[in-house]
Structure 1
Amino acid sequence: MATSSISGLASGLDTATIIEQLMQLEAAPQTRLKSKVTSEQSLVTTLQTLNTKVALLGSKAEALAKPSAWTPLTATSSNTAVSVTAGASAGPATLSVTVTGVARSHQLGFAQAHALTDQVTGASTSVRLDRFDGSPVDLATDGTLSGLARAINDPANATGLAASLVKVADGSYQLLVESVATGAAQDFTLTGSDGAALLGGATVRAGSDASINLGAGIVVTSTTNTFTDVLPGVTLTLGAAATTGTTSSVALTRDTSKLATSVKDLVDTVNSLLADIDAQTSYDTATKKSGALAGDSTARSLRSALLNAVYPSDGTSLASLGIQVSRTGTLTFDQSAFTQAYAADPAGVAERFSTAGDGFAARVATVAKGASNSTTGTLTAAITGRRTGIERLQDGIEAWDTRLELRRTTLQRQFTALETALGQMSSQSSWLAGQISSLPSSSS
Structure 2
Amino acid sequence: MQTPIKIAVVGSGLVGSLLAIYLKRAGHTVHVYDRSPDIRKINFSGRSINLAMSNRGWRALDDLGLGDTIREIAIPMDKRAIHLVDEPLSYQPYGKEGECIYSISRGVLNRQMVTLAEAEGVEFFFESRVWDVTMADATLHTGETEKGPWDDLKYDMVFGADGAFSRIRHRMQRQNMFNYSQEFLNTGYKELNIPANPDGTHKLDKNSFHIWPRHDFMLIAMPNLDGSFTCTLFMPFEGENSFESLKDKETLEAFFAKHFPSTIEVIPNLVEDFFKNPTSTLVTMKCYPWTFEDKVALIGDAAHAIVPFYGHGMNAGFEDITILSQLMEQYGDDWKTIFQEYQKSRKPNADAIAELSYRNFMEMRSKTADAKFLLQKKIEKHFSENHPDKWLPLYSRVTFSFRPYAEALAIGDHQKAIMDEVMLMPDIESKWDTPEVEARILELLTAK
Q: TM-score, normalised by structure 1?
A: 0.17
Larger RCO (CA within 8 A; separation ≥ 6):
1
**Which one has the largest radius of gyration?**
1
